[in-house]
Amino acid sequence: MQVLNGARFGVLVLLTSLLAGCGINNIPNYYEQVKAAWAQVQNQYQRRADLIPNLVETVKGYAKQEQDTLTAVIEARAKATSIKVDASTLDDPEKLRQFQAAQSQLGGALGRLMVVSERYPDLKSNQNFLALQSQLEGTENRIAVARKDFIAAVQRYNTEIRTFPGRLWHSVMYSDMPIRENFEATAADADKAPEVKF
């Protein structure tokens, strides 16, 4: 009887070690990485949104006649910060597209604001403006890195649940974890190089 219990225990230990090493935990781990990567994307977008009021106030002092551009930036920021996509709604492709469109609109408005600043030499030499511009450029780079990391996390997760043995574990244990949507270019001609004229 003791030999039989020892054999059962040995088989149980062997099965446990085989299951632990066969990727059964990959899907929830990758799922959590996707959520963490998305949180970092949102963190960087929030950082950009937090810089905008100071940037607008600095420009406003020098370029009062550019009210339309400043208003466009303020409205784009308001729209971008009003659309919230958290990890629980991340699998809603329409909500993700709305969020991306609002962020793209804000990026475009900021781009126009930077073009306007070129018309004002005093503004371009203002230390506050230069510091804010530098922080904004750094934030745009951080957004790009965070989006790249999110795309990689989604790819790893989606690949895991579409390939063996992850596909098996997904169907048996993790069917409530759906395929994740990824970022897509939002501009109509995003695949074409912009035309630059001097």
**In this structure, what CATH number is given to the domain that contains residue 92?**
1.20.1440.20
Q: Is residue 165 part of a domain?
A: yes
pLDDT at 89: 67
Decide if 149 is inside a domain: yes
Domain membership flag for residue 16: no
**pLDDT tens figures, 18-63:** 555 567 889 999 999 999 999 999 999 999 999 999 988 888 888 7
Domains held by the chain: number: 1
Q: Output the six-digit token pair for 135.
A: 């922080």
Query: Residue 135: pLDDT above 60?
Result: yes
C-alpha 33/C-alpha 37 separation (Å) is 6
The whole-model pTM stands at: 0.76
Closest CA to 31 of 107, 73, 90: 90
* Mean pLDDT taken over the chain: 83
Q: Report the pLDDT value the prediction gives residue 47, as an integer from 0 to 100.
A: 94
In this structure, of 45-54, 66-75, 143-152, the range with the lowest mean pLDDT score is 66-75
Whether the pLDDT of residue 184 is over 80: the answer is no
Class of residue 4 by CB neighbours under 10 A (exposed 0-12, middle 13-18, buried 19+) = exposed
More confident of the two residues 7 and 179: 179
**String of DSSP letters for 122-184:** HHHT-HHHHHHHHHHHHHHHHHHHHHHHHHHHHHHHHHHHHSTTHHHHHHHT-TTSPPPP---
Q: What is the mean pLDDT of residues 67-73?
A: 87
Amino acid (one-letter) located at 49:
A
The residue range of the domain holding 105 is 26-172
Q: Which residues contact 161 (CB under 8 A, 6 or more apart)?
A: 27, 167, 170, 174, 177, 179
What pLDDT score was predicted for residue 142? Answer: 96
Give the integer Cα–Cα distance in Å for 195 and 31. Answer: 40
Amino acid at 48: R
How confident is the model at residue 100, as a pLDDT?
A: 87
C-alpha span between 175 and 125 (Å, rounded): 57
What stretch of H or E contains 95? helix 93-117
The pLDDT of residue 15? 60
Q: Please check whether residue 198 lies inside any domain of the structure.
A: no
Q: What percent of the chain has pLDDT over 90?
A: 34
Is residue 77 in some structural domain? Answer: yes
Q: Which two tokens stand for residue 132?
A: 């804010």
For residue 183, pLDDT beyond 90: no
The answer to whether residue 11 is domain-embedded is no
Residue 152 belongs to some domain of the structure = yes
Residue 13 lies in a domain: no
pLDDT tens sequence across 74-124: 999 999 888 877 766 677 888 888 888 899 999 999 888 888 888 888 887
Distance CA 159, CA 155 (A): 6
Distance between CA 116 and CA 72 in Å, rounded? Answer: 12
